[in-house]
Amino acid sequence: MEMKKGFWQGLLTGLIIAVFGVALYFGLKVLIDGNKDPKDKAKAQIEAEANARRENKTGGSVSEDASSVNDGSYVLEDEDVIKKTMDLQDVINELYIEDVSNEDIANGIYDGIMKSLDDPYAAYYTPEEFQEMQQDTEGIYFGIGCYLMKDQTYLYPRITGIMDNSPASESEIKVDDFITEVNGEDVYDQDLSDVVKKIKGPEGTTVNLTLVRKDSGEEINIDIERRKVETPTVKYEIIDDEIGYIKINEFDDITVDQFTDALATVKGSDVKGLIIDLRGNPGGSLAAVVNIAGQILPKGVVVYTEDKYGNRTDYNSEGKTPLDIPLVVLVNGNSASASEILAGAVKDYKIGTIMGTTTYGKGIVQRVLSLQDGSAVKLTVSHYYTPNGNDIHKVGIEPDVVVELDVDAYLEDENNDNQKEEAIKYIKDQID
């Protein structure tokens, strides 16, 4: 009955979403007294915690809503559901002030079904949205050039990285800013892909963003021109003629070739040590990270997954080119998902040192499944585990060497990167 109830809620919510744009929220809720709108509560807590940090206090707490249990039943066909849907559409057609197409209502229903799941990563994509998402993995789009992650405490998108030579890099945007509004629309608890779609647009047009600073709670409103953005998911350099440095911003289809080229160039320079920087990397393709891990790991399991039935799937490294020089992997609280797969494998095989701060803690896997009409759905299908069987979900990976970023120095000049400098020093101590 609970699953049926969830389906009902999703179906009806979908109709409302299609017409009125109501944002339905599930999962983590901010615990603040009063009857304020949840969006206002989230904004208020961001500001309150920023003030608390300035006073060296701790602030806020979160709670997980686990009120529903899946009993294994599914509502595929129900006369009551069909009748209720028709009744709702009759009311809409008769009274709603705007014209609404059957296609809009249908898409709202599909979207509502996915939102009925207790899964913040579940989403429905129309054929057009799915096609656009596939194009994004090719590394070119029109937008502002920043990396986003949905913050599971405040349920707003948070900026985890900014691309070089992008509109975002030329603006007031900073890493860890929350985006609370896009073109005047509050984006509280919206699916991240929907927010990204709102930010992107035709080349030369502008998008208006309302930002809230994580460190101060200050609200900023800016206009940014959309431009063609080529996503350099990997960049590299040779430091002092002896240390290779490879920064991976995310794991997309194009990342494998970019990393392969970078690693070949670095190795061809006869470096004596390597730094792989995963800070701010929100994750991405499981296939991509397994391929990349296979280029540095010995033969064995990179990661394994288990689905709801307990079925295990191993993803292996062939171990053809294991790394034989000192390695440091830099991570932080924005290193998530696929980043944690790579860091976890390096840690378990003891082929390198994890340095920085504790990672995000996303130990679950989503699949995007295409449907016959060209649309698609995304949902969580399994947990993943490191080679030694560690479940890092909501826990993260503890670094071997803890190095906090000197934020003030970094914000003053990005070249003032004490974590990177510590990694360089660590490797030099090993090769001297």
pLDDT in tens, 14-30: 444 443 333 323 222 22
**Helix, strand counts (H, E) of the chain:** 11, 21
Range of the domain at 94: 2-128
Spatial separation of the C-alpha atoms in residues 274 and 327, rounded to whole Å: 5
What SS3 string covers 123-138? EEECHHHHHHHHHHCC
Q: What is the mean pLDDT of residues 191-211?
A: 92
Q: Which residue has the higher pLDDT, 420 or 69?
A: 420
Residues 210 and 145 in one domain: yes
Q: Residue 344 pLDDT > 70, yes or no?
A: yes
Residues 296 and 416 in one domain: yes
Contact 330, 355 (CB under 8 A): yes
Q: What is the mean pLDDT of residues 49-60?
A: 47
Residues 59 and 111 in one domain: yes
Structure tokens at 408: 């003030």
Spatial separation of the C-alpha atoms in residues 293 and 255, rounded to whole Å: 12
Contact 382, 305 (CB under 8 A): yes
Which domain-ending residue is among 128, 156, 180?
Answer: 128
Burial (CB count <10 Å: 0-12, 13-18, 19+), residue 254: buried
> Binning pLDDT at 50, 70 and 90, where does residue 79 land?
confident
Per DSSP, which regions of 114-205 are E strands?
Answer: 123-125, 140-143, 146-150, 157-162, 178-182, 185-186
Which domain-ending residue is among 97, 128, 159?
Answer: 128
Residues 264 and 391 in one domain: yes
> Binning pLDDT at 50, 70 and 90, where does residue 131 land?
confident
Structure tokens at 381: 């299908």
Burial (CB count <10 Å: 0-12, 13-18, 19+), residue 279: buried
Residues 242 and 223 in one domain: no
pLDDT of residue 17: 41
DSSP string, 294-308: HTTS-SEEEEEEE-T
Domain presence at residue 299? yes
Per DSSP, which regions of 56-156 are E strands?
Answer: 62-64, 123-125, 140-143, 146-150
Maximal CA-CA distance, the chain: 79
Could you tell me the CATH number of the domain that includes residue 200?
2.30.42.10
- The number of folded domains in the chain is 3
Spatial separation of the C-alpha atoms in residues 173 and 171, rounded to whole Å: 5
Domain presence at residue 135? no
What share of the chain has pLDDT > 70, as a percent? 81
Which domain-ending residue is among 80, 95, 128?
Answer: 128
User: Considering the entire predicted model, what is its pTM?
Assistant: 0.69
Q: Residue 111 pLDDT > 70, yes or no?
A: yes
